[in-house]
Amino acid sequence: MIPNLLDKVWIVPALMASSFLIILFFGKRFGTRATAGIGIVAVSLALVFSVCVAGQWINRVNNPPTGEKLAADVVAANGLTPQTGANIIGEVEATTIESGETVDAGTHAMASSESGSMSEMSNAEMGTASSEHAVATEHAATEHAATEGEHGGEHESVPPIVRTTTWFTIAGINFEVGTLLDGLAAMMLITVCIISLLVHIYSTEYLHGDIRFTHYYAFLSLFTASMLFYVLSSNTLQMLVGWELVGVCSFGLIGHWWEEKKNTDAALKAFLTNRVGDIGLILGVTITFFAAGAKSFNVLHINEYALSGTANTALLLVGALCLFGGVTSKSGQFPLHTWLPDAMAGPTPVSALIHAATMVVAGVYLIARLYGVFFAGLGIGSSSLHYVAFIGGFTTIIGGLLAFVQTDLKKVLAYSTISQLGYMVMALGVGAWTAGVFHLFTHAFFKACLFLGAGSVSHACHHTFDMREMGGLRKKMPITHGTFLVATLALAGIFPLAGFWSKDEILSGASAGQENAYTLMLVFGLITAFLTAAYMGRAYWMTFWGEYRGHAHPHESPKVITVPLVILAACAVFLGFTNFPKSFFGIELPGGVTTRFEHYIEPTFAFPPLQHAEFTPWLAVVSTILAAGGLFIAYQYYEKNRGPHGLTQRSKVARAGYTFLENKYYLDVLYTDIIAADTKGPLARAAYWFNTNVLDGVVNGLGTGARKIAGFVYRDIDQLVLDGIVNGSGSVSEKSGQVLRHVQTGKVQQYAAILFAGAVVLAGVFVFVI
């Protein structure tokens, strides 16, 4: 009998954090094999634990809690006091309908929780709280009804498992730290742990003999722990901590080979670019904290507030846009995507981990976790265009186009990641929550396969990623070739691989939208389907077909590299079926085998009621034709040497377009040569001139003036006036004394005469003056 692990999910990140500490303090003593073994054992245990947690969550969804158990979970999710929770549970147990049917505990508990919270408020707040209570109760009932209708009564609303403890207290406000486990978090646990485990194993060969092997594995464990900590966070402040830890780890791993300046430059670029977006994230966390009314960072509370109908929509809009600033940098959205291709300077296994399951998907996860804020703030349920959806769709295009002008295989995959992250953000922006998260899930495996496949090719080709020095590798590296081909087709969205199902859901969501279709986003998605297949076809044929153009002697990589590739390729084949549609080209399938991903992963608590688009046959056909067309054109151009070769030499327009793409839309020029260079150059010189000539001039002028004033005071006032008065009075006294000395003769008659004269003068003063 497996114990209940849902309450102990904190063990998963704790395992990886322990691995980091052990490797950090004892890794060099143990040796490289033991160091790698510690990391592999830790992530293996974390994966086993995560699988058990996911299994228990599935069982919870299939057998949802009711009555007292459901009420207790809702109380914990809302962060209420034990006494309030006990009152709610008592009410739920005592509340029945006359027919004998028990009142839904979830709805009742949510309504009661609002009432219990109101009891702690002051009388001045009661009026506002009462109206909010009514709206919240109505929303809870509506949400629950919508959930049942959406899932066809398959299961009721299932609250997540929330366990918290007080972190610190300021001004009477308790700041908590804890875990929030639901289907989304369980899915992320498994995804992160699988990719991390394969990267740990793969790295034993890829970084064999590396001078900082211990440092690498320590950071790898901390990177995994940070991402796991982030996805399990129960509040936005805790998410911010995990977010920054992920950024610090990526900085250390991207710059792992810091002896080369380009690597340190890439690490600094990633770090600083992300700091720009993180300012928005911090502002967003602060705004939602105060907007929620109760001064709470609690994720569920913030989502409930946003969806309550009484929320301040202006604050939600500003908060959502600020939060999206963090998403823009971390998840490589236009225009802060420029750091991501340069991050290829790090070891290839790190690139796989960053691009598949950790750093770059943190932003997508942020939108998915705080979806209530984005949904209500941006009007996703009713608008047909808004900033987040547009930026996501636009990013898919600009990332795909840039992939065509890359000769570095890893950079092709990096720009592909930018494009696919745009796909995910666009999906969340059009209200296709499940489709966006499903694409995050499937993309993680085939993109990790592609990156590790690129590393395998480099390992065999004298550590180069230049596709111009490759070619003809399909015969020399059959396993690497086969797995890379499968992952390429999955990324291109070819039926029946995983990418086909997740991409089709996104396109269907854009075509149906919520109340309005996102037509422009659908166009972006279809264009990207063609571009993805075309640039991946180009990379595939340049790498594995034709004649070998390099100078090494390529051979198949060892099993420690190829086995992870096979596992990931198998996932790229089968994982798409986890959300198989209810109807496929008119064929109705049993409900127990369809939309399983949606059923177990999509939240039903503090979550907006979404419209789920059905499988759209014509869209599936069109997108597949576009993808096949992109692959065919790439085959004809790069393998058969057909097409307008040399067009950039013949056409000024084509040459200008190619140069524009080659310079990455001149965004690096804008950031580095204009903003940064001007800050360090003309602006710095202007600031220095201002400091030297204005500020220093004022200070020096004041000093000079003070010195001159002091000289004037000393010379003219002190010496001439004050000293003159003092010296003059002394001289007068001295002379007067000498005169008076002659007056003192000792004769009484003279003294009487002088006295009489003085009396006369004094009498005259009294007579004429007074």
Q: Is the pLDDT of residue 85 over 70?
A: no
Let me know if 455 is exposed, middle or buried by CB neighbors in 10 A (0-12, 13-18, 19+): buried
Of all residues in the chain, what percent carry a pLDDT higher than 90?
54
- Based on the fold, state whether residues 351 and 461 are members of the same structural domain: yes
The pLDDT value given to residue 745: 61
- Based on the fold, state whether residues 617 and 658 are members of the same structural domain: no
164 DSSP 8-state letter: E
Whether 120 maps to a domain, the answer reads no
Whether 749 maps to a domain, the answer reads no
**Quick one: which of 565, 531, 540, 299 has its CA closest to 423?**
531
- Based on the fold, state whether residues 306 and 363 are members of the same structural domain: yes
User: What does the alpha-carbon distance between residue 244 and residue 240 come to, in Å, rounded to a whole number?
Assistant: 6
Where a domain ends, among 729, 744, 760? 729
What mean pLDDT do residues 244-259 have? 93
What type of residue is 124?
A: A
- pTM for the full predicted model: 0.83
- 207-215: Cβ within 8 A, 24+ apart: 207/347, 207/349, 208/32, 212/256, 213/32, 213/35, 213/36, 214/23, 214/27, 214/28, 214/32, 214/35, 215/256
Q: Is the pLDDT of residue 409 over 50?
A: yes
Q: How confident is the model at residue 462 (pLDDT cuts 50, 70, 90)?
A: confident
Range with top average pLDDT, 88-97, 329-338, 715-724: 329-338
- Based on the fold, state whether residues 651 and 552 are members of the same structural domain: no
- Based on the fold, state whether residues 193 and 253 are members of the same structural domain: yes
Whether 93 maps to a domain, the answer reads no
What mean pLDDT do residues 123-144 have? 38
Whether 63 maps to a domain, the answer reads no
Tens digit of pLDDT for each residue in 280-320? 999 999 999 988 876 689 999 999 999 988 888 899 999 99
The pLDDT value given to residue 435: 94
> What string of H, E and C letters represents the secondary structure of 337-404?
CCHHHHHHHCCHHHHHHHHHCCCCHHHHHHHHHCHHHHHHHHCCCCCCCCHHHHHHHHHHHHHHHHHC
User: What does the alpha-carbon distance between residue 567 and residue 489 come to, in Å, rounded to a whole number?
Assistant: 16
- Based on the fold, state whether residues 615 and 653 are members of the same structural domain: no
Residues with Cβ within 8 Å of 171's Cβ and at least 6 positions away in sequence, in order, are none
Let me know if 78 is exposed, middle or buried by CB neighbors in 10 A (0-12, 13-18, 19+): buried
Q: Is the pLDDT of residue 28 over 50?
A: yes
Q: Is the pLDDT of residue 173 over 90?
A: no
Contact 220, 39 (CB under 8 A): yes
Whether 367 maps to a domain, the answer reads yes
The pLDDT value given to residue 448: 96
Q: How many Cβ atoms from other residues are within 10 Å of residue 177's Cβ? A: 18
Q: Is the pLDDT of residue 514 over 60?
A: no
- Based on the fold, state whether residues 654 and 579 are members of the same structural domain: no
Of 113-117, 221-225, 399-403, 589-593, which gets the smallest average pLDDT? 113-117
CA 332 distance to own-chain centroid: 10
User: What does the alpha-carbon distance between residue 577 and residue 596 come to, in Å, rounded to a whole number?
Assistant: 9
Cα(first)–Cα(last) distance of the chain, in Å? 120
The pLDDT value given to residue 549: 86
- Based on the fold, state whether residues 515 and 657 are members of the same structural domain: no
Q: Is the pLDDT of residue 378 over 80?
A: yes
User: What does the alpha-carbon distance between residue 556 and residue 269 come to, in Å, rounded to a whole number?
Assistant: 35
Average pLDDT, the chain: 84
Q: Which residues pair with 102 in a beta bridge?
A: 96
Range with top average pLDDT, 18-22, 64-68, 254-258: 18-22
3 state DSSP class of 176: strand
244-266 b/e (C-beta count within 10 Å ≥ 16 → b): bbbbebbbbbbbbbeeeeebbeb
Whether 389 maps to a domain, the answer reads yes
- Based on the fold, state whether residues 517 and 570 are members of the same structural domain: yes
Supply the range of the domain harboring residue 364: 6-56+177-471+480-491+499-583+601-631
- Based on the fold, state whether residues 217 and 265 are members of the same structural domain: yes
The pLDDT value given to residue 242: 95
- Based on the fold, state whether residues 607 and 703 are members of the same structural domain: no
- Based on the fold, state whether residues 548 and 669 are members of the same structural domain: no
The pLDDT value given to residue 77: 66
Range with top average pLDDT, 37-41, 116-120, 122-126, 677-681: 37-41
Can you point out the beta strands (E) in 270-351?
none
Whether 445 maps to a domain, the answer reads yes
Contact 417, 403 (CB under 8 A): no
What type of residue is 663?
A: N
Residues with Cβ within 8 Å of 548's Cβ and at least 6 positions away in sequence, in order, are 470, 471, 472, 473, 476, 554
Q: How many Cβ atoms from other residues are within 10 Å of residue 147's Cβ? A: 23
Tokens of 110: 């949510």
The pLDDT value given to residue 83: 43
Whether 142 maps to a domain, the answer reads no
Write out the DSSP string of 512-530.
H-SSS--HHHHHHHHHHHH
What mean pLDDT do residues 482-501 have? 95
Tens digit of pLDDT for each residue in 674-686? 888 777 778 778 8
Tens digit of pLDDT for each residue in 707-765? 888 888 888 787 788 777 887 777 777 777 676 666 566 667 777 777 878 788 888 77
Q: Into how many domains does the chain fold?
A: 2
Q: Which residues pair with 176 in a beta bridge?
A: 166
Q: Which residues pair with 233 in a beta bridge?
A: 179
